[in-house]
């Protein structure tokens, strides 16, 4: 404890928490309009910082969805480059998920619509264009999603947004000496909701924090200056069975927690919110030891809480029964999969299953409605947060040991420590699409962009396709198609006398164009010219001797 106190003194003495915490505005209803655009913000005196924001200069509005509502979103891409927007945590179809395949060209709009199937919780949205996620998120492109439900509303919990229900998007960022955000730099500043050196005024009562670690790499170990306990009431995918009393909550990049802190009777006092990184070893990003830089291994106060008066009708106690969880039983599992985390060190990027992400390769194929157990084994010297799209899961165990109570709820990110194996169980329901995959990846953004990612399709049993076989037969090169010329590589064994024709369909199955059959000839390449294609995902079907032989997913950029 002495050492801890010593470490804290410099921050407590010199940090000036002079900026009132900004609370993102909200959008609600069923129709949403988001515009992602470049902007600037005056973070420091002197040069302004170039940023990216949704409907503003940095971060984005908090989207409030109601469980069961049919939601319609228009995302306008006002950047001068392509991007995608992913609804992290949401159970939606692959086309609506906003992964790296669902590209929104510069100047174009994307219009996902879906029904909100998830429980009341806190999700977030952020770009997901392969190799650009880190840059776009670092520059500010991210926002919060709050899902409300009648079940949650029936509980006694603080839920007045901005008053006793406070979003905390905690991010560690690197500013270079020109005041620009650098996604490759060593962290120089913490910010919360885009505010540097923030203070937050809270009423002297129960206050709920919806915390997200939106840092690109650093793991947080959150607690308060006086080491008080607080309740964790929710994990990534919803409320826990009951509040769990803690004095620390560890959140990796992408992970969320809902906390309730009791400030009753503390009016007039101030309290630091701290990430206790000294309690982490070198194997945790942001921990001490090794090549630690900047904040690594240091207990750092990143926000000051100032307790004010009570509100007119304060929440002074909270429900002790929050939600029901009936995790699938291991014996119900239809399939088990193993994913390894590999690599590390110079010239050896972090990877999954010893392979870097290949946007044309479907790594896993899941059958709709199957219950599966995934085992993620970390063979590297560093902890990595594993994230999967489409589903929420229950952690079964970590190196054979059941998770602590605050990790027994629904999750979509789990930190897998060095030399650890984590098993989780989940069910792949509702959405099948053999063409558009979902992602799974490390949520450390430079690792994800560097290829620590894989993809899976969910297929209905009857239409199960063998992607490996298809790739041996026909292949589009390059895919994504970038220059309006599709080159189809033909399989070697194709008879030169055969005729080959092509039909292109959109995702809705509508025929877009047809290239009549011609004799294959001795070449193994067919070239198709496209003029007026919108960027997006298409299916190219190949007719050999008048019979449909193969279908390929084709991405036009």
> Which two tokens mark 291?
């090549």
88 sits near Cu ion (criterion: CB under 5 A): yes
To Cu ion, the closest distance from the beta carbon of 274 in angstroms equals 25
526 sits near ligand C2O (criterion: CB under 6 A): no
Q: Single out the residue of 218, 222, 163 nearest to residue 185, CA to CA.
A: 218
Q: Is the dihedral of CA 55, 59, 62, 67 positive or negative?
A: positive
88 sits near ligand C2O (criterion: CB under 6 A): yes
**One of 91, 441, 447, 553 touching ligand C2O (CB under 6 A):** 441
**One of 444, 453, 481, 544 touching Cu ion (CB under 5 A):** 444
**One of 256, 387, 411, 553 touching ligand C2O (CB under 6 A):** 387
Name the segment binding ligand C2O (CB under 6 A); options: 40-48, 233-241, 437-445, 547-555. 437-445
CA–CA gap between residue 540 and residue 376 (Å, rounded): 34
91 sits near Cu ion (criterion: CB under 5 A): no
With respect to Cu ion, which residue has the nearer C-beta, 161 or 428?
A: 428
416 sits near Cu ion (criterion: CB under 5 A): no
**One of 254, 272, 451, 535 touching ligand C2O (CB under 6 A):** 254
Q: For residues 539 and 518, is the Cβ–Cβ distance under 8 A?
A: no
218 sits near Cu ion (criterion: CB under 5 A): no
With respect to ligand C2O, which residue has the nearer C-beta, 43 or 393?
A: 393
Q: Single out the residue of 104, 103, 37, 111 nearest to residue 74, CA to CA.
A: 111
284 sits near Cu ion (criterion: CB under 5 A): no
CA distances from 265 to 162, 262, 304, 309 (A): 20, 9, 18, 9
Name the segment binding ligand C2O (CB under 6 A); options: 235-243, 283-291, 301-309, 436-444. 436-444
**One of 144, 413, 422, 442 touching Cu ion (CB under 5 A):** 442
Of these partners, ligand C2O, Cu ion, none, which one is at the site of residue 441 (CB under 5 to 8 Å by kind)?
ligand C2O
Site for ligand C2O in 98-127 (CB under 6 A): 126
130 sits near Cu ion (criterion: CB under 5 A): no
To ligand C2O, the closest distance from the beta carbon of 431 in angstroms equals 16
With respect to ligand C2O, which residue has the nearer C-beta, 173 or 443?
A: 443
384 sits near ligand C2O (criterion: CB under 6 A): no
Binding flags for Cu ion, 446-465, as an x/- string (CB under 5 A): -x------------------
536 sits near ligand C2O (criterion: CB under 6 A): no
Q: Single out the residue of 468, 478, 449, 450 nearest to residue 364, CA to CA.
A: 468
Binding flags for ligand C2O, 305-344, as an x/- string (CB under 6 A): ----------------------------------------
Q: Single out the residue of 138, 134, 135, 126 nearest to residue 171, CA to CA.
A: 138
To Cu ion, the closest distance from the beta carbon of 519 in angstroms equals 46
398 sits near ligand C2O (criterion: CB under 6 A): no
Q: For residues 140 and 59, is the Cβ–Cβ distance under 8 A?
A: yes
CA–CA gap between residue 545 and residue 381 (Å, rounded): 54
With respect to ligand C2O, which residue has the nearer C-beta, 224 or 357?
A: 357
Q: Is the dihedral of CA 261, 265, 267, 271 positive or negative?
A: negative
To Cu ion, the closest distance from the beta carbon of 412 in angstroms equals 7
Q: Single out the residue of 366, 156, 331, 153 nearest to residue 243, CA to CA.
A: 156
Q: Single out the residue of 340, 323, 44, 25 nearest to residue 197, CA to CA.
A: 44
132 sits near ligand C2O (criterion: CB under 6 A): no
Site for Cu ion in 350-389 (CB under 5 A): 350, 384, 389
Beta bridge partners of 425: 373, 394
Of these partners, Cu ion, ligand C2O, none, which one is at the site of residue 442 (CB under 5 to 8 Å by kind)?
Cu ion
Contacts for 210 with CB less than 8 Å, ≥ 6 apart:
122, 144, 146, 165, 166, 167, 168, 256, 258
Name the segment binding ligand C2O (CB under 6 A); options: 172-180, 210-218, 438-446, 542-550. 438-446
145 sits near Cu ion (criterion: CB under 5 A): no
CA–CA gap between residue 101 and residue 180 (Å, rounded): 29
**One of 86, 423, 447, 553 touching ligand C2O (CB under 6 A):** 86
Which single residue is written with the structure tokens 């949704």?
54
> Which two tokens mark 68?
């069961």
∠238-89-357 over CA atoms, to 5°? 145
**One of 91, 130, 208, 389 touching ligand C2O (CB under 6 A):** 389
Residues 215-239: b if buried by 16+ CB within 10 A, e if exposed = bbbbbbbbbbbeeeebbbbbbbbbb
Which single residue is written with the structure tokens 């990143």?
302
Q: For residues 25 and 61, is the Cβ–Cβ distance under 8 A?
A: yes
Residue 248's Cβ-count burial label (10 Å; 0-12, 13-18, 19+) is middle
With respect to ligand C2O, which residue has the nearer C-beta, 88 or 398?
A: 88
Of these partners, ligand C2O, Cu ion, none, which one is at the site of residue 384 (CB under 5 to 8 Å by kind)?
Cu ion
To ligand C2O, the closest distance from the beta carbon of 98 in angstroms equals 9
Judged by the rule CB under 6 A, the positions of this chain that interact with ligand C2O are 86, 88, 126, 128, 254, 387, 389, 439, 441, 443
Judged by the rule CB under 5 A, the positions of this chain that interact with Cu ion are 88, 350, 384, 389, 442, 444, 447
């Amino acid at each position: 404890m002495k050492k801890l106190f010593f470490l804290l003194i410099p921050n407590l003495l010199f940090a000036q928490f002079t900026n009132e915490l900004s609370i993102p505005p909200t959008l609600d209803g069923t129709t949403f309009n988001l515009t992602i655009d470049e902007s600037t913000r005056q973070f420091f005196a002197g040069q302004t910082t170039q940023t990216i924001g949704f409907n503003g200069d940095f971060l984005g509005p908090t989207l409030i969805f109601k469980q069961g509502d049919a939601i319609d979103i228009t995302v306008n891409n006002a950047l001068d480059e392509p991007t995608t927007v992913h609804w992290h945590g949401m159970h939606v179809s692959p086309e609506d998920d906003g992964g790296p395949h669902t590209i929104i060209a510069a100047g174009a709009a994307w219009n996902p619509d879906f029904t909100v199937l998830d429980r009341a919780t806190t999700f977030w949205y952020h770009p997901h264009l392969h190799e650009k996620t880190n840059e776009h998120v670092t520059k500010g492109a991210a926002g919060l999603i709050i899902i409300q439900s009648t079940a949650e509303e029936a509980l006694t919990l603080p839920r007045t947004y901005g008053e006793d229900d406070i979003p905390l998007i905690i991010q560690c960022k690197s500013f270079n000496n020109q005041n620009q955000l650098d996604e490759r730099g060593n962290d120089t500043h913490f910010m919360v909701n885009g505010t540097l050196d923030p203070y937050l005024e809270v009423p002297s009562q129960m206050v709920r924090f919806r915390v997200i670690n939106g840092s690109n790499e650093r793991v947080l170990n959150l607690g308060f200056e006086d080491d008080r306990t607080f309740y964790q009431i929710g994990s990534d995918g919803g409320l826990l069975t009951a509040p769990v009393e803690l004095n620390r909550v560890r959140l990796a990049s992408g992970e969320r927690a809902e906390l309730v802190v009791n400030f009753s009777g503390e009016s007039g006092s101030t309290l630091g919110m701290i990430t206790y990184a000294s309690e982490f070893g070198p194997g945790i990003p942001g921990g001490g030891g090794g090549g630690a830089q900047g904040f690594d291994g240091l207990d750092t106060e990143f926000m000051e809480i100032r307790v004010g008066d009570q509100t007119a009708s304060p929440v002074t106690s909270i429900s002790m029964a929050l939600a029901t969880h009936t995790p699938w039983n291991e014996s119900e599992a239809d399939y088990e999969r193993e994913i390894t985390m590999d690599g590390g060190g110079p010239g050896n990027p972090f990877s999954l299953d010893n392979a870097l992400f290949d946007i044309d390769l479907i790594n896993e194929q899941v059958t709709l409605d199957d219950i599966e157990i995934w085992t993620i084994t970390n063979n590297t010297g560093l902890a990595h947060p594993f994230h999967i799209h489409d589903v929420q899961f229950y952690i079964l165990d970590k190196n054979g040991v059941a998770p602590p109570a605050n990790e027994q709820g629904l999750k979509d990110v789990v930190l897998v420590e060095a030399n650890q194996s984590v098993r989780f169980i989940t069910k792949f329901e509702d959405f099948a699409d053999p063409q558009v995959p979902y992602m799974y990846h490390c949520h450390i953004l430079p690792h994800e962009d560097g290829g620590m990612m894989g993809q899976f399709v969910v297929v209905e049993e009857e239409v199960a396709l063998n992607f490996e076989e298809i790739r041996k037969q026909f292949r589009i090169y390059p895919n994504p198609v970038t220059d309006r010329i599709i080159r189809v590589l033909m399989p070697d064994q194709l008879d030169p006398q055969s005729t080959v024709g092509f039909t292109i369909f959109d995702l809705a199955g509508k025929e877009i164009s047809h290239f009549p059959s011609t004799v294959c000839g001795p070449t193994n390449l067919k070239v198709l010219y496209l003029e007026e294609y919108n960027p997006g995902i298409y299916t190219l079907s190949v007719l050999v001797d008048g019979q449909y032989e193969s279908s390929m997913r084709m991405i036009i950029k």
